[in-house]
Structure 1
Amino acid sequence: MIACYVRGGGLGHLTRIRAYLHTCHPGATATILTASAFTADPRVLGPHRLLPAEALPSLRPSTLVVDAFPAGLDGELSAASVPPGARTVHLARLLRWDAYRPLLPAEPIAFDETWLLEDLTPEHRAYLPGTAAPLTLSDPPGVTPRGVAEGSWLIVHSGPGPEIQELLGYARDCAAAEGVRPRLVLACPRRPGDLPADVAHVDPYPAWPLFATAARVITAAGFNAVRQMRPWRAKHLMLPFPRRFDDQYTRASLARR
């Protein structure tokens, strides 16, 4: 059994673990340990089994995959957390390392395998084993809804609401700077109650199949948005947001470079 420890409230952790499983364990069914509300959507969970993170001590997986946070979201994971006989894998993405480092336990997990999913800060990279290696993720196939985004400016965000409004304002400002009045389409799991009448709403998952035909794609600077938009970097408009541990500002700076 493959168990994936995926703590985090957003949709990004689940999208990333689905991509990892598709890349490294194609066709396998895993147990996803998370409390994310987004798993209520069967498209997000896919073929995988769902359990709360607290179920880890009762499991005996052959492989334990820890996403993003080497000691868990709140420092709850240590060497003692690893089920007997489990091979351990860490998926390392950019963190605000000064903020996260105080949570590291005295006896951290000695991961058998560490994948570098993007460029890290020197301090973060120095903490990881020298054997850590880059990994380029590939997403599971997605359906492209016809006629949704062709020529439109596509705003992609799963929330919260105030951030969606900021992205809409950013899209309008960028359009005004370009001297254009594009059709705006919001791709979001739920239609916001305060969505302006001139903005269309769609609920695709995954959203990345719409990227190729959109004239512009406006997102935060989350890991998946930046990764998935790499082939269309010239039309990607990013607005980073503050996060407890995710360093969207550094990611946006690196991507723009």
Structure 2
Amino acid sequence: MIVCYAQGGGLGHLTRLRAYLHTVHADEPATVLSGSPFTADPRVLGPHRLLHLTGSPAAVLAELRPEVLVVDAFPAGITGELDAGCVPPGTRTVHLARLLRWDAYREVLPASPIRFDRTWTVEEPTAAHGAHLSRVSAAVQPLELVDPPAPASDSSAASVCSAGSVASDVDGAWLILHAGPAAEVHELVAYAAECAAAEGRRPRLVLAAPHRPAGLPDGVAHIDPFPAWPLFEQAERVITAAGFNAVRQMRPWRAKHRMLPFPRRWDDQFTRAARARAGSPQP
């Protein structure tokens, strides 16, 4: 049994784990421990089983007795709740490492951290973070994630609007993508308008988000696709925060990607955005 530990309230953990399970395990069904509200959407986990974590991680993992335990993003869990004592004997341990605000996160590390049989770095960590990973891992290797194919029913995900009407075609539109809070969605919409004004453009704006936030301007269409990445090629511009998956999935179209990083407790969106912009010529 593969068990994936993905404590966090966002969509990013789940999207990354889907890609990992597709890339490394050929979509072998896994059990995902998560409290994310996005697990209520059956499109998100696909063939994988959700288990809400109730009680201590050590007790849940002792009952599950996984063959492989995959810990996403945070090597000690989101609050330092995972340590070596949580891992049942005989379990192979894997960590998916992405950028962290390491100086902040290191404060929650337990005295007895998990020793990982393998750490996959899905983006380059900072020097201090990388040094920690080397200390607690038998092997550290980079991994290029590949997303599972979009279901055929989602290939035209732009055709259905959350209000039940036909949505605008994203072909040639500026696509704004965010699964975060409404306030951030509004910031991204405003940022798209600012970018358009700077370019002397008046594009159609299409928001791809789980819900249409209150107060969204009437001229902005709303769609709820999952996954959204199949729409990126059609859009003239794609406007996102600087989350891991959005930046990763937009690499083939860096020149048309516009990022507005947001502050996060552990994620370092500002460093990620700076790295992406440094290697991304603008049209």
Instruction: State if a TM-score over 0.5 links the two structures.
Output: yes
What residue ranges of structure 1 are gaps of 5+ in the alignment?
Answer: none
Percent identical residues: 67
After superposition, residues 7-156 of structure 1 pair within 5 angstroms as 7-54=7-54, 55-129=60-134, 131-142=139-150, 143-145=154-156, 148-156=169-177
Which secondary structure state, in structure 1, belongs to the residue aligned with residue 258 of structure 2? strand
Tell me the alpha carbon deviations over residues 114-156 of structure 1, each in whole angstroms, 9 at most, x when there is no partner.
Answer: 0010011111001112731000000011132166310000000
**In structure 1, the residue corresponding to 2:134 is in which secondary structure?**
coil
- Is 2:181 aligned against 1:160? yes
For residues 58 and 144 of structure 1, what CA distance do their matches in structure 2 show? Answer: 39
Kept after mapping to 2: 8 A contact 1:152/1:183: yes
Partners of 2:71 and 2:132 lie apart in 1 by: 16
Equivalents in 1 of 2:180, 2:222: separation in Å? 13
Name the CA distance, whole Å, in 2 between partners of 1:58 and 1:108: 21
State which of 178, 181, 202 in structure 1 corresponds to 2:223: 202
User: Aligned equivalents of 1:234 and 1:250: distance in 2?
Assistant: 18
**Match of 1:93, as an amino acid?**
R
Mapped to 2, the partners of 1:50 and 1:57 lie a distance apart of 17
Does the 8 A contact of 1:79 with 1:109 survive in 2? yes
Query: Aligned pair count?
Result: 257
Task: State TM-score, norm by structure 2.
Answer: 0.89
Q: Equivalents in 2 of 1:158, 1:244: separation in Å?
A: 17
Match of 2:206 among 185, 191, 196: 185
Contact 1:5/1:53, CA 8 A, preserved across alignment: no
Unaligned runs of 5+ residues in structure 2 are: 55-59, 160-168, 279-283
Q: CA RMSD in A?
A: 1.1
